[in-house]
Amino acid sequence: MKILSKIYTFLVFFFLYIPIFVLIIFSFNESKSTSVFTGFSFDWYLALLEQEDILNALKTTLILAVGSSVISTVFGTAAAVGIDSLRKGWLRSATMGVTNIPMMNPEIVTGFSMMLLFVFASKLLGISDSMGFGTLMIAHITFELPYVILNVLPKLRQTDRNLAEAAQDLGCRPVQAFFKVVLPSIKPGIITGMIMAFTLSLDDFIISYFTNGREFQTLPTIIYSMTKKRVTPVIYSLSTLIFFSILLLLILTNLIQYLNEKKQNKTSD
Amino acid sequence: MENNIIIDLKNISVAFGDNQVLKNLNLYIRDGEFITLLGPSGCGKTTTLRIIAGFTAPDEGQVYFEGKLINNVPPYKRHVNTVFQRYALFSHLNVYENVAFGLRNKRMKEKEIRETVKQMLELVNLKGFERRHINSLSGGQQQRVAIARALAVNPRVLLLDEPLGALDLKLRKDMQNELKNIQQRLGITFIYVTHDQEEALSMSDTIVVMNNGIIQQIGTPKDIYNEPKNAFVADFIGESNIVDGIMRDDFVVDFSGHRFDCLDKGFAKDEAVDVVVRPEDVDVVPLEKGMLKGTVTSVVFKGVHYEMIVDIGGFKWMIQSTDEQQEGDKIGLYIEPDAIHIMKKSEYSGMFGDYSSFSEEYDELSNAEEPEEADGEEG
Amino acid sequence: MNKSTSLKTKLLNSPYIVWSALFVIAPLIFVVYYSFTDIDGNFTFENVLSLTAYTDTIIRSVWFGVVSTIICLVIAYPIAYIMAHSKAASQRTMMIMVMLPMWMNFLIRTYCWMVLLQDTGIINTFLGKLGISPVHMINTPGAVILGMVYDFLPFMILPIYSVMTKLDPSIVEAAQDLGCNRFAVLRKCVIPLSMPGVISGITMVFVPSVSTFYISQKLGGGSFELIGDVIERLYLTPNQNNVGAALSMFLMILILICMAIMNKFSNSSEEGMVI
């Protein structure tokens, strides 16, 4: 039984990783071939550096991800506090229902419907070329908000309601009480929400594709247009870099989490 | 004890939705006393406490602090501090910072803060715990931090909301003594909320028994135990046999088919009353010498005494006696005049004091669902 | 105090409600509006009726979605079970390993498979070295489904795994105590109790696979167009937004129906998601 499950685990992870390993290996290929490895080189990484549109897209993607995740975290945390203080009733259920829509709706419908809104709004306002960074930002904030809210809400629910009262009891104004006492206790939820928002923004293709106005490229949309054309190993080197950045990010966040847990265990001994 | 009234609640009414939690409550509290609000879950005791703290605004009525109306004074400006039911400690701060929290809000100098925190931790026997993390403390230690934190800001009145509810029995007893000592040493007013009658009896100067948002009786522990005002109070505090009786005259009462001498007077002739007899006040005597005669239906050994249920003309009495009886024995019962307490009929008449459905498990179950009152507001 | 709480509630909620109304509700209203109007804004049923032309596409999308969801479930359930019963340290590592491909863009992952499966691709080159004649794999329904399974498998593993780690081990012990053997424990306890994870995994795989585009363009060579591909094509073609809106509306309703059916099965009342 043990051996069987080990073999099975190996096979599943082999399936998950074989394409990625192939891609990494061939990013160092000397020739243009995507099936035969002819020799080791950094050519495709150097080629990547010369592609100005990719570097621009990278810049856009990062600005977009940082901006939208910060905004949606602040906005979403405030909304979560608001929702949490709502009494059970139609307004609360309605708000929760609306919050779930962008998560449940297929991304293509979300993207397409926002595109319709932006097209209509620009016609109404008489702007010819309305789609761009602004619409991308709005779209990203909109689909990130539910993830922030759904990460913060459970933490708020776990927080002892008396905590804010205790702070007020000891001389804090209500707003001070929130920042001094409630915020630290929901911080883990806020951070998780923000990381999720950030990675979702980095990774998003479909919604960006419909709301970027075809001119304003993010990294995923530029990958899309590259793969539409001829196969070029530049994609390999780009993907390899992305892979290692994500790996680094994941290991870092897990390490931080692990160290935090360890620290907490230590103090409780 | 001085007679200065520190807190005065006048005609307080509160409703959460359809639920009328407090009904026209009037209560004054003297400076320096240890007063306990006692009652079952949902009786309004926690709400009363929250009104004094300022977390709940009464729908009607006035709250006075030293004669000044404080209805509109927010909690952070009141000279009243709270020890919360589940402590509500700030787990992101260590013990020192928790105790210093209120002092920092007062913008006290760092040196004074250090001095006060040290004093407070000594007061609650937590010397040397300054750097400890909240989550690394036991329940009892957390409780002490909560008390130190509230006392650090030097309140005139300390509100305690079932503070010992989460502790085990042994620890509870120790903390009861300690709290009483702290209160006497500091000489400030303690308003204590609990559903545990034993706790209330052993700690308080004054007990306020509440049920359904109404004060049933206010008095010293002795008064409450010996002279309960109605069947609810008699039943809630200790064990009681409560039977229907008729007051034939001053000092003469009929119940269970027998005429008894008693010490109560001032009732109308032939007035129907509730008669309370505590289980420990009934003497078991040979059948022929008994004023009342009954059959023992169950006997439980309790250590100091035997607790038995005795059927007297269909009504089940609880009797505590050091002599062992057998189930099915016919025994006589003797009741001294000072063991009989007469109460006016009330809405609670006939609801309590019959042990025909008595089981201890049942008693414990109804206690277990207790400490949820604070959440009543959300629902 | 009570009164100020309600003011605070309003202050914190109204901006979010306004935002949601503008950017979540309004776009959906526009989908419905565009579905029933022509380019000049006149009311028409034409867009909705024109959907009949895509019957094959719709059936194919649902079919591919169902098949890839089932395959994902079959692969994911045992691996989630194995993960949940591993040591804490290896659980953490395996979690990262499952999540890592998930955070890689699906465009890249799909592209990888295209390279692998091509007639002159790596797999065939490898097979050739072993003396096996090349196998035609790209541009088949199997390749499209493989792409979907590969892209969405982590979405199935994670929710099931997360429910399984929360199962109280004493439940399994209790079942054994009451006379269940290993297989019976699995059938009577573990599987029913992990259903919430399975349900959420199914939705998380089915929704993207039924609505995906790109995968079938790259791995199906354009011969197996899916609903998502049609919506994209209509978006790129000028003046076709109204038909696109109608198809989007149809897709939304289709998924709502599927989720309603799933909810019937799960009859759970929890708020929010499993992950």
What integer pLDDT is reported at residue B367 of this predicted model? 47
CA distance A243 to A266: 34
DSSP C137: -
pLDDT of the residue at B369: 42
Q: Which of B305, B335, B332, B330 is nearest to B320 (CA)?
A: B305
Q: Does A203 sit within 8 Å of C103, measured CB to CB?
A: yes
Domains, chain A, with CATH or none: 51-229 (1.10.3720.10)
- The angle subtended at Cα B60 by Cα B59 and Cα B64, nearest 5°, is 115
Sorting pLDDT into bands at 50, 70 and 90, what band is B358?
low
Both tokens assigned to C6: 């309600």
Asked whether residue A142 carries a pLDDT value surpassing 50, the answer given is yes
pLDDT in tens, C90-116: 898 898 889 888 878 888 889 889 888
Contact A78 C12 (CB under 8 A): yes
User: Checking phi first, is residue A79 left (phi over 0); if not, alpha (psi -120 to 50) or beta?
Assistant: alpha
Search chain A and give the residue with CA nearest B17: A87
Inter-helix orientation angle A107-125/A133-158, to 10°: 130
| Mean local confidence (pLDDT), B299-313 | 90
Question: What pLDDT is stored for residue B371 in this prediction?
Answer: 41
Averaged confidence pLDDT in chain B: 89
On the question of pLDDT at B366 being above 70, the answer is no
Tell me what pLDDT residue A265 has: 63
Domain B241-351: which CATH class?
mainly beta
Q: Say if A264 is an interface residue toward chain B (CB within 8 Å).
A: yes
DSSP codes of every residue in B22-36: EEEEEEEEETT-EEE
CB B288 within 8 A of CB B330: no
Angle at B22 between CA B18 and CA B28, to 5 degrees: 165
> What gap in Å lies between CA A91 and CA C178, rounded to an integer?
46
pLDDT at residue number A1: 67
Contacts of C210 in chain A (CB under 8 A): 106
Rounded distance, CA B163 to CA B86, Å? 7
Partner-chain contact B86 A162, CB within 8 Å: yes
What average pLDDT is seen over chain A?
88
Q: Give me A252's structure tokens.
A: 């870092």
The 10 Å Cβ neighbour count of residue C257 is 10
Spatial distance between the Cα atoms of A223 and A51, rounded to a whole number of angstroms: 12
Most confident of A24-33, C118-127, C170-179, C194-203: C194-203
**Whole-Å CA distances, B348 to A158, B233, B343:** 40, 9, 11
The reply to whether B102 touches chain A by the CB within 8 Å rule is: yes
pLDDT bin (cut points 50, 70, 90) of residue A147 is very high
Query: Which tops the pLDDT comparison, B370 or B252?
Result: B252
Three-class DSSP labels, A126-165: CCCCCCCHHHHHHHHHHHHHHHHHHHHHHHHHHCCCHHHH
Q: pLDDT value at position C1?
A: 42
Helix (H) or strand (E) holding B310: strand B306-312
C2 contacts on B by Cβ (under 8 Å): 56-57
Predicted local distance difference test score (pLDDT) of residue C5: 54
Q: Is B251 an interface residue toward C (CB < 8 Å)? A: no
| List of chains touching B (3+ CB pairs within 8 A) | A, C
- Structure tokens of B85? 């039911």
- β-strands B241-249, B206-211 pairing: unpaired
Are A19 and C25 an interchain contact pair (Cβ–Cβ within 8 Å)? no
Interface mutation target, options B83, B92, B161, chain A, most CBs of A under 10 Å: B92
Kindly determine whether residue B88 and residue A264, on different chains, have CB atoms separated by under 8 Å: no
- Chain C: residue whose CA lies nearest to B16: C2
pLDDT of res. C243 = 92
DSSP codes of every residue in C66-99 = HHHHHHHHHHHHHHHHHHHTS-HHHHHHHHHHHH
Can you give the pLDDT at residue B357? 64
Count of all residues that appear for chain B in the document: 379
Question: Which of these ranges, A27-31, A189-193, B212-216, C11-15, has the smallest mean pLDDT?
Answer: C11-15
Query: Which chain B residues touch C3 with a CB distance below 8 Å?
Result: 57
Selection from A225, A229, A206 nearest residue A57 by Cα: A225
Cα distance between residue C7 and residue C16, in whole Å: 15
Instruction: Give the three-state DSSP class for B327.
Output: coil
Note whether B5-226 and B241-351 share their fold.
no
More confident residue, B87 or C11: B87
A241-245, B59-63, B356-360: least confident range:
B356-360
Question: Residue type for C10, please?
Answer: K
Angle C212-C215-C221 from CA coordinates, rounded to 5°: 130
Domains and CATH numbers, chain C: 54-266 (1.10.3720.10)
Mean pLDDT of the C171-193 span: 82
* Extents of the domains making up chain B: 5-226, 241-351
Statement: residue B359 has pLDDT above 80? no
Mean pLDDT confidence for B141-151: 94
Torsion of CA C106, C112, C113, C116, to 10 degrees: 180
Residue C3 has pLDDT above 60, yes or no: no
How far apart are the C-alpha atoms of B81 and B102, rounded to whole Å?
Answer: 10
Q: What is the pLDDT of residues C21-49, one digit of tens each?
A: 999 999 999 999 999 998 888 898 988 99
Give CATH superfamily name and number for B5-226: P-loop containing nucleotide triphosphate hydrolases (3.40.50.300)
Q: What percent of chain B has pLDDT over 70?
A: 93
Nearest CA in chain B to A171: B76
Of residues C121 and B301, the one with the higher pLDDT is B301
Confidence of residue B44 (pLDDT cuts 50, 70, 90): very high
The residue with greater pLDDT, B86 or A153, is A153
pLDDT digits (tens, 9 = 90+) for B253-276: 999 989 999 998 889 999 999 999
pLDDT score for A267 = 53
Question: Looking at chain A from residue 126 to 185, which residues have their Cβ under 8 Å from any Cβ of chain B?
Answer: 160-163, 165-174, 176, 180-181, 184-185
CA distance C195 to C265: 9
Angle subtended at Cα C140 by Cα C134 and Cα C142, rounded to the nearest 5 degrees: 95
Spatial CB neighbours of A101, under 8 Å, sequence gap ≥ 6 = C24, C25, C28
Exposure of C145 by Cβ count < 10 A (0-12 exposed, 13-18 middle, 19+ buried)? buried
Residue B368's pLDDT band (cuts 50, 70, 90) = very low
Report phi then psi at B215, rounded to 5. -75, 125
**CB neighbours of residue B362 within 10 Å:** 10
Q: Where are the alpha helices (DSSP H) in chain A?
A: 2-27, 43-50, 52-85, 90-104, 107-125, 133-158, 162-169, 174-177, 183-203, 206-211, 219-228, 234-267
What pLDDT score was predicted for residue B372?
40
**What φ, ψ does residue B317 adopt, rounded to 5°?**
-100, 145
Contact C19 A75 (CB under 8 A): yes
Coil/strand/helix, residue B189 = strand
Q: Using 50, 70 and 90 to split pLDDT, how confident is the model at A128?
A: confident
**For residue B370, is pLDDT > 50?**
no
* Model-wide pTM > 0.90: no
